[in-house]
């Protein structure tokens, strides 16, 4: 029953008033693997996620999941094709309860209410949020809010999950918890994960492959240990730290 899906992006580009935020980027992710998308601040990582999820209109490029062309779809039509995301700055439905927040992920891909409730209950339990199920999301701790956003994304039963800096704002212990959660997810749920983060310890330990952006362009791709030694990557990071 394990089938492999492929999420493929080719030649993706986007400029903001002349600034090339994403410049001819191509990438491929299979279910079962974790790809790290890294790069200095402003290198286009969030813009990449916004483009592939239809939140921003692209200038050029092709985006597919198993031959389905999702690149021309409205943002709300994409989750049902198996692609969901989380946000760098948490975006929850703050007046909705935790349970309702997660249910929305399931309702958004057309599940019926009862089923959505059951899926949501299971996910809250899995992520250790059951205790807060009826509390409005705005009352949750930062860590719980991060997890809740992931739960909402997972409720859509995606094939691909795009995480935009899920560890931002978490302390070391919480980041380790996140690592434990994410590291088993691709196999357990048969999904592919794209993770953006600045926490190199997390990225290096978690990812099967890395994709490095700088000024919107791909400057390196490959195994974490190779990418780490890539001179261009070293310069990009040192450069951004020096400035």
Partner 1 sequence: MKRNNTADENTLAAASLGSRPYFNFSSKWSTVVLLVAILSGIGVFIWWLNIPFIEDIFTSSVITLISVLGFQLYMGNSGILNWSYVGYVGIGAFASAIFSMEPSLKAMQIPIMYPFLQKLHLPFIPAVLAGALVAMIIAAVVAWPLMRLSDAVGSITQFALLIVINVLLSQWAEVTNGPRTFTLGGSRQTTIWVALGFAILVITFVYYFKESSLGMKLRTSRDDRYAARSSGINFVKVRYQGYVTSAFIGGLAGGLYSHYILSITAGSFYMSELFKLLSMVVIGGSMSVSGAFFGALIVTLAQQGLRQLELGLTRSGFEAYGMSEIVVAILMILFLILRPNGVTGGRELSLEALRNLFRPKQYTNNNGNKK
Ligand X SMILES: Nc1ncnc2c1ncn2[C@@H]1O[C@H](COP(=O)(O)OP(=O)(O)OP(=O)(O)O)[C@@H](O)[C@H]1O
Which residue number, 67 or 243, has a Cβ lying nearer to Mg ion? 243
CA–CA gap between residue 181 and residue 177 (Å, rounded): 6
DSSP state of 97: B
Question: Is the torsion defined by CA of 202, 204, 208, 209 positive or negative?
Answer: positive
The entry of partner 1, Mg ion, ligand X, none that residue 55 binds, CB within 5 to 8 Å by partner kind: partner 1
Instruction: Name the minimum Å distance from CB 196 to ligand X.
Output: 7
Which residue number, 88 or 183, has a Cβ lying nearer to Mg ion? 88
Which residue number, 122 or 221, has a Cβ lying nearer to partner 1? 122
Interface residues toward partner 1, by CB under 8 A: 1-3, 5, 53-55, 65-68, 74-82, 84-85, 87, 91-96, 99-100, 103-105, 107-110, 112-119, 121-122, 131-132, 134-136, 138-141, 144, 152, 156-157, 159, 189-190
Pairing of strands 60-65, 6-16: antiparallel
Which residue number, 45 or 85, has a Cβ lying nearer to Mg ion? 45
Residue 26 interacts with ligand X (CB under 6 A)? Answer: no
Cα 189 to chain centroid, rounded? 15
With CB under 5 A as the contact rule, the residue among 43, 46, 50, 175 that binds Mg ion is 46
Task: Spell out the residues 6+ positions from residue 80 whose beta carbon is closer than 8 angstroms to its own.
Answer: 108, 109, 110, 156
The token duo for 238 is 């040192």
The entry of Mg ion, ligand X, partner 1, none that residue 41 binds, CB within 5 to 8 Å by partner kind: ligand X
Q: Which residues of 81-115 are buried (b: 16+ CB within 10 A; e: fewer)?
A: bbbbbbbbebebeeebbbbbbbbbbbbbbebeeee
Instruction: Name the minimum Å distance from CB 106 to partner 1.
Output: 9
Closest CA to 209 of 243, 218, 217: 218
Query: What is the footprint of Mg ion within residues 64-123 (CB under 5 A)?
Result: 88
CA angle (25 as vertex; 242, 77 as ends), nearest 5: 120
Which residue number, 66 or 176, has a Cβ lying nearer to partner 1? 66
Determine which helix (DSSP H) or strand (DSSP E) holds 112, and give its type and residue range: none
- The window from 36-44, 63-71, 76-84, 179-187 that contacts ligand X (CB under 6 A) reads 36-44
- Interface residues with ligand X (CB under 6 A)? 16, 19, 21, 39, 41-47, 88
């Amino acid at each position: 029953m394990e089938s492999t899906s492929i999420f493929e992006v080719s030649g993706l580009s986007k400029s903001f008033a002349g600034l090339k935020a994403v410049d001819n980027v191509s990438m491929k992710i299979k279910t079962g693997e974790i790809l790290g998308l890294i790069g200095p601040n402003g290198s286009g990582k969030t813009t990449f996620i916004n483009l592939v999820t239809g939140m921003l209109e692209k200038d050029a490029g092709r985006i597919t999941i198993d031959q389905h062309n999702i690149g021309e779809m409205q943002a709300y039509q994409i989750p049902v094709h198996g692609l969901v995301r989380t946000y760098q700055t948490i975006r929850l439905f703050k007046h909705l309860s935790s349970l309702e927040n997660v249910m929305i992920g399931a309702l958004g891909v057309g599940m019926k209410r009862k089923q959505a409730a059951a899926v949501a209950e299971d996910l809250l339990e899995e992520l250790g949020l059951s205790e807060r199920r009826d509390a409005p999301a705005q009352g949750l701790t930062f860590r719980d809010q991060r997890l809740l956003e992931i739960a909402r994304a997972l409720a859509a039963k995606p094939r691909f999950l795009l995480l935009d800096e899920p560890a931002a704002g978490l302390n070391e212990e919480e980041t380790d918890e996140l690592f434990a959660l994410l590291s088993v997810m691709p196999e357990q749920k048969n999904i592919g994960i794209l993770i953006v983060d600045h926490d190199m310890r997390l990225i290096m330990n978690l990812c099967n492959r890395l994709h490095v952006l700088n000024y919107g362009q791909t400057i390196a791709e490959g195994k974490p240990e190779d990418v780490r030694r890539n001179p261009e990557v070293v310069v990009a990071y040192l450069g951004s730290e020096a400035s």
